[in-house]
Amino acid sequence: MNISKFFCCLAVVASSAISIHAVAGGSHGHHGKEDTHKENQKKGPKGGKLLEQGHFALEVTIYENGVPPEMRVYAYENGELIRPSDIRLNVTLTRTDATDNLSFSMEGDYLVGDISIYEPHSYEVEVSAVHENKTFNWHYDSFEGRTAINERMLSLSGIETETAQPQVINEKQTLFGVIEVPTHQTFTVVTPYISIVEDVFVQQGDHVKKGDALLKVKNVNSLQSYIVKSPGKGEITFHDVSIGNRTAYDPVMKITDLSKVWVNLSAFPENVEQMKKGQAVSVYDLHHHEKEQGEIIYVAPAMTGGHIARARALIDNSEGHWRPGMHVKSDIIINTLSSKVAVKKSALQSFRDFTVVFAKFGDTFEMRPLELGKSDDEYVEVLAGLTPNTEYATTNSYVIKADILKSGASHDH
Tell me: the pLDDT tens digits for 315-367?
Answer: 999 999 999 999 999 999 988 999 999 999 999 999 877 899 999 999 999 99
Share of the chain above pLDDT 90, in %: 75
When comparing pLDDT for 226 and 14, which is higher?
226
Average confidence (pLDDT) over 230-240:
96
Q: Of 219-223, 287-291, 359-363, which range is least confident? A: 287-291
* Fold of domain 186-256: OB fold (Dihydrolipoamide Acetyltransferase, E2P) (2.40.50)
The yes-or-no verdict on residue 22 having pLDDT over 50 is no
What integer pLDDT is reported at residue 17 of this predicted model? 32
**Distance spanning both ends of the chain, measured CA to CA:** 21
Q: Of 36-45, 184-193, 228-237, which range is least confident? A: 36-45
Domain ranges of the chain: 3-146, 148-168+338-394, 173-181+259-336, 186-256
Tell me: the pLDDT tens digits for 241-275?
Answer: 999 999 988 999 999 999 999 999 998 888 888 89
Q: Domain 173-181+259-336 is classified in which CATH homologous superfamily?
A: Efflux pump adaptor protein, beta barrel domain (2.40.30.170)
Average confidence (pLDDT) over 177-188:
95
Q: Which residues pair with 174 in a beta bridge?
A: 331
* Fold of domain 3-146: Immunoglobulin-like (2.60.40)
What integer pLDDT is reported at residue 408 of this predicted model? 54
What integer pLDDT is reported at residue 233 of this predicted model? 96
* Fold of domain 148-168+338-394: 2.40.420
**Torsion angle of alpha carbons 390, 394, 396, 397, nearest 10°?**
40
233 within 8 A of 185, measured Cβ to Cβ: no
